[in-house]
Amino acid sequence: MYKDPSAKYASFRPVELPDREWPDRMLTSRPIWCSVDLRDGNQALAVPMNVSQKLELFDALVKCGFKEIEVGFPAASNTEFTFIRRLIEDGRIPDDVTIQVLVQAREDLIEKTVESLLGAKRAIIHLYNSTSPAQRRVVFGLDKPKIVNIARNGTRFVKERVERLKGTELGFEYSPESFSGTEVEFALEICHAVMEVWKPTAENKIILNLPDTVEVAMPNVYADQIEWFRKHLNNRESAIISVHTHNDRGTGTAATELAMLAGAERVEGTLFGNGERTGNVDLVTVALNLYMHGIDPGLDFTNLNALCGIYERCTGMTVPPRQPYSGELVFTAFSGSHQDAIKKGLAEWNQGNRPHWDVPYLTIDPSDLSREYREIIRVNSQSGKGGVAYLLEAEFGIELPKDLQREFGPIANIEVDRMGREVTAEELKAMFWHEYIDRTTPWKLEQFDANGSGGVCICSAKVWNGQEYTLTGEGNGPIAAFVNALHNGGALKFEVTNYREHALSTGEGASAISYIQIKVADGTTRWGAGVDTNMELASIKAVLSALNRV
């Protein structure tokens, strides 16, 4: 790397827009969505999708609610052409869905493209040519007027063939490719030239797509470009301003959202950001960003896990685990303080005490996307008592008292740290059982009977402590009587300071769990736990568990 990058790289020239309006605006409605998964996303795959895979993904996009879908570049290959014909001839396109096809501004390619659309009910022909200084200089070796002529002629070639698609509700889209790297004045000039040929009206609008083909500036600059273009566009009521952002600088989502603030009415992108280089903008992210602010995105991602599966199966790509909303780990908290806050926030929400979602660390309710709460919290060596308690309760119904959470949390963390990895809920339960339920030395219960009258309970217990002992005691209940019996048998003196119990399951053979905290003479406290189908025996076992842990 250069110590002085300016010796090799130039800063981007900002747009002169002193009266910019977009910073003071708020998004209040959804854009028109156009998926380009089957074209832009497909061309970026190491192994492009076959017809069957494209059909499956097309059906999934329709199910999500996309009304405009760019289905391919029919002049590029037989597979693309065949796929589009299958969609039309097999009647697979719903009446309210418009297919879009991409084509360069060349007459032979436009001819093939029009042929691919014969019989379609609704279609958009998407024409493009590159306009940036680098493209003009390096690729075409042409000056601005000749670049404008390419766009003008391409538009004329399409218009001359409109009659062949007489039964089709046809729309037209033009993209000055690499718009964000083009002088805004020239981008406006070439779009005006295209509009002069196409002659759009307020009833039959042209789509002017202004792509951030390669991110070359900060997203606020792109927003300025969009707003400048919108303010200077002639016949504005006859055009739909569309954006198509890539993610080279990692700000594709920000660029899209700021462009919408600046006046963009339509957004092109892909599921999960598939596309050339670092990919296109992720439409799932943009849509759910609207959703989390109370705006209906018009797209349904209720079963996001299933959509991820279809995408991965059809494209051979994977959804990154940290991908916003859709990644495996995005509703997961490893930090103990985060886990505790999430647990408390979910409890508050489930009590119905708040009108709007406001759970710490969760921007959206995972259940809205068919994600399960058990996915929210995992436990590793960085986790705290909140995460440990959450998993035990969510998976097994083990509701640890607060003080017991504080005692068991560090014990679990030491073991997890020794293992050096994330642990499952089953492993966590096994740790709890080992530490509390299975503590049968030095004291082990073999038999217990209790009965009473007049407020006095008398118990008889057989216990093992190197040998079998029969102990008797009395108190105001079975637990007090058993503590008295232990003291009579020479056990360490202690008192019960906390007691809780609850059922673990329902139905025949249901188990109960008891938690008991004891305190010995020097002030030391320990928790114990016991499980049994008999609640009384569960509590007696919990007393011995605590005593065995002193």
Q: What is the pLDDT at residue 454? A: 85
Q: What is the pLDDT at residue 386? A: 76
Contacts of 199 (CB under 8 A, 6+ apart): none
Q: Could you read off the pLDDT of 126-165 as tens digits, one per residue?
A: 999 999 999 999 999 999 999 999 999 999 999 999 999 9
- Distances in Å between the alpha carbon of 502 and those of 167, 343, 400? 70, 20, 10
Q: Which residues of 514-546 are buried (b: 16+ CB within 10 A; e: fewer)?
A: bbbbbbeeeeeebbbbbbbeebbbbbbbbbbbb
Q: What is the pLDDT at residue 377? A: 61
Query: Average pLDDT of the chain?
Result: 94
Q: Could you read off the pLDDT of 329-371 as tens digits, one per residue?
A: 999 888 778 888 898 999 999 999 899 999 999 999 999 999 8
Selection from 514, 511, 528, 502 nearest residue 444 by Cα: 528
Question: Does the pLDDT of residue 416 top 90, yes or no?
Answer: no
Q: What is the pLDDT at residue 309? A: 96
Q: Where are the beta strands (DSSP E) in 153-205?
A: 169-177
Q: What is the pLDDT at residue 68? A: 98
Q: What is the pLDDT at residue 420? A: 85
Q: What is the dihedral of CA 342, 346, 349, 350, to 10 degrees?
A: -170
Please state whether the predicted TM-score (pTM) of the whole model is above 0.85: no
Grade residue 54 by pLDDT with cuts at 50, 70 and 90. Answer: very high
Question: Does the pLDDT of residue 82 top 60, yes or no?
Answer: yes
Q: What is the pLDDT at residue 421? A: 85
Q: What is the pLDDT at residue 425? A: 86
Tokens of 338: 């985060």
Q: What angle do CA 29, 285, 42 make, to 5 degrees?
A: 115
Q: What is the pLDDT at residue 422? A: 82
Q: Could you report how far apart the first and last alpha carbons of the chain are, in Å?
A: 62
Over residues 11-22, the mean pLDDT reads 93
Q: Could you read off the pLDDT of 35-51 as tens digits, one per residue?
A: 999 999 999 999 999 99
For residue 255, give the 3-state DSSP assignment.
helix
Nearest-angstrom CA–CA distance, 138 and 338:
52
Q: Could you read off the pLDDT of 425-446 as tens digits, one per residue?
A: 899 999 999 999 999 999 999 9
Q: What is the pLDDT at residue 417? A: 85
Grade residue 413 by pLDDT with cuts at 50, 70 and 90. Answer: confident
Q: What is the percent of the chain with per-residue pLDDT over 70, rounded to a whole number?
A: 97
Nearest-angstrom CA–CA distance, 142 and 137:
7
Domains and CATH numbers, the chain: 31-315 (3.20.20.70), 336-436 (no CATH), 444-549 (3.30.160.270)
161 φ, ψ to 5°? -105, 5
Q: What is the dihedral of CA 175, 181, 185, 190, to 10 degrees?
A: -30
Nearest-angstrom CA–CA distance, 219 and 122:
33
Q: Could you read off the pLDDT of 500-538 as tens digits, one per residue?
A: 999 986 655 679 999 999 999 999 999 999 999 999 999
DSSP 73: -
Q: What is the pLDDT at residue 378? A: 65
| Lookup result for tokens 């509701």 | 399
Question: Does the pLDDT of residue 385 top 80, yes or no?
Answer: no
Grade residue 375 by pLDDT with cuts at 50, 70 and 90. Answer: low
Q: Could you read off the pLDDT of 444-454 as tens digits, one per residue?
A: 999 999 998 88
DSSP 140: I
